[in-house]
C-alpha cells in the first residue's frame, strides 16, 4: 500500500489526523516526523525525531525515508482530517490519470481551505469561490500547481521536484520545477478537511517575506510569478 508521510511542528492537529487514518485508511503505513514531546507512539508508523527546521527540509527527510521502500507516497499536512473515502479515492484517481500516458507529478486532494484551484467551492467558469456545490468537484482537474496537504507523488517525480529549504512557496517551487521537466499536476476528486495553518505558522506576511530571498537567489525565474517582483 502507499504510505502516508507527515511532518509536524507542534502536533496540535495530529491526534485527530492519526485517528482519521486509523479509521479510514488502516492499511496505510505512516512515516511521521516531529519532536519526541509532540509525537507519541502510533502503532502503524515509523517515527523520525528531529527539531523543526522548515517545511521543505523536514518533509524531504520523511519522504526520502518512505521512498526507500515504496514507489510512491502521499504527502500529508499535520492539520488535515481524512474522510472515509479520502485515501482510496485519491489512489483511484491516480490510476485514472495514468491512463492518459502523461508524466504525473503531484495529484492533490480537494479541501475546504486550500489554494483556489483545489478548493471545493472553486468555480471554474467564474474564477471565484461559491457556497454551493459544483458538479465539477466530482471530477479530476488539471492544475499548474498543487498544495500537498494530502497529495500523491511517485518516487520518480519526487527525485525531480524535492522541496526547497523554505516554508511557504516550497510547494510552488516543487511544482514549477516538475512542470519545467515535463510533469503535469492534477486535482483529485478526493477530499480532506483542512483546519488550516498549523504546520508552519499563522503569519502569512512573515512566511512570504522569509521565502523571498531563497527564491530570488536560487529560482529567480519564479520571483515575478510568485511575488510580483
Q: How confident is the model at residue 65 (pLDDT cuts 50, 70, 90)?
A: very high
Separation of alpha carbons 48 and 30, rounded Å: 11
* pLDDT for res 169: 93
CATH topology of domain 4-227: Spore Coat Polysaccharide Biosynthesis Protein SpsA; Chain A (3.90.550)
Better-predicted residue by pLDDT, 43 or 190:
190
Collapsing DSSP states into helix, strand and coil, what is residue 76?
strand
Please say whether the beta carbons of 29 and 44 come within 8 A. yes
How far apart are alpha carbons 109 and 87 in whole angstroms?
A: 9
Q: Where are the domains of the chain?
A: 4-227
* H or E segment and range at residue 45: strand 45-49
Residue whose grid cell is 529549504: 165
Q: Which residue has the cell 516526523?
A: 33
Helices (H) and strands (E) in the chain, counts: 7, 11
Least trusted range by pLDDT, from 13-27, 76-90, 157-171, 183-197: 183-197
Query: What does the pLDDT look like over 146-199, one tens digit per residue?
Result: 999 999 999 999 999 999 999 889 999 999 999 999 999 999 999 999 986 555
- What average pLDDT does range 61-78 have in this prediction? 97
Say if residue 20's pLDDT is above 90: yes
Alpha helices for the chain (secondary structure H): 14-24, 55-66, 86-98, 155-160, 170-180, 204-218, 220-227
Amino acid at each position: 500500500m502507499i504510505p502516508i508521510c507527515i511532518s509536524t511542528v507542534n502536533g496540535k492537529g495530529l491526534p485527530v489526523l492519526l485517528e482519521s487514518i486509523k479509521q479510514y485508511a488502516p492499511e496505510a503505513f505512516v512515516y511521521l516526523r516531529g519532536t519526541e514531546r509532540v509525537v507519541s507512539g502510533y502503532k502503524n508508523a515509523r517515527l523520525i525525531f528531529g527539531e523543526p527546521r522548515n517545511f521543505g527540509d523536514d518533509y524531504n527527510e520523511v519522504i526520502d525515508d518512505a521512498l526507500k521502500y515504496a514507489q510512491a507516497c502521499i504527502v500529508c499536512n499535520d492539520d488535515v482530517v481524512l474522510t472515509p473515502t479520502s485515501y482510496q479515492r485519491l489512489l483511484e484517481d491516480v490510476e485514472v490519470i495514468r491512463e492518459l500516458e502523461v508524466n504525473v507529478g503531484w495529484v492533490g486532494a480537494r479541501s475546504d481551505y486550500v489554494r483556489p484551484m483545489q478548493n471545493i467551492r472553486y468555480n471554474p467558469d467564474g474564477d471565484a469561490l461559491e457556497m454551493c456545490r459544483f458538479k465539477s468537484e466530482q471530477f479530476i482537474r488539471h492544475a499548474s500547481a498543487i498544495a500537498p496537504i494530502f497529495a500523491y507523488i511517485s518516487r520518480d517525480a519526487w527525485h525531480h521536484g524535492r522541496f526547497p529549504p523554505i516554508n511557504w512557496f516550497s510547494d510552488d517551487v516543487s511544482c514549477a520545477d516538475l512542470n519545467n521537466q515535463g510533469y503535469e499536476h492534477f486535482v483529485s476528486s478526493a477530499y480532506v478537511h483542512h483546519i488550516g495553518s498549523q504546520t508552519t505558522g499563522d503569519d502569512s506576511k512573515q512566511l512570504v517575506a522569509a521565502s523571498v530571498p531563497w527564491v530570488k537567489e536560487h529560482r529567480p525565474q519564479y520571483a515575478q510569478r510568485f511575488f510580483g517582483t
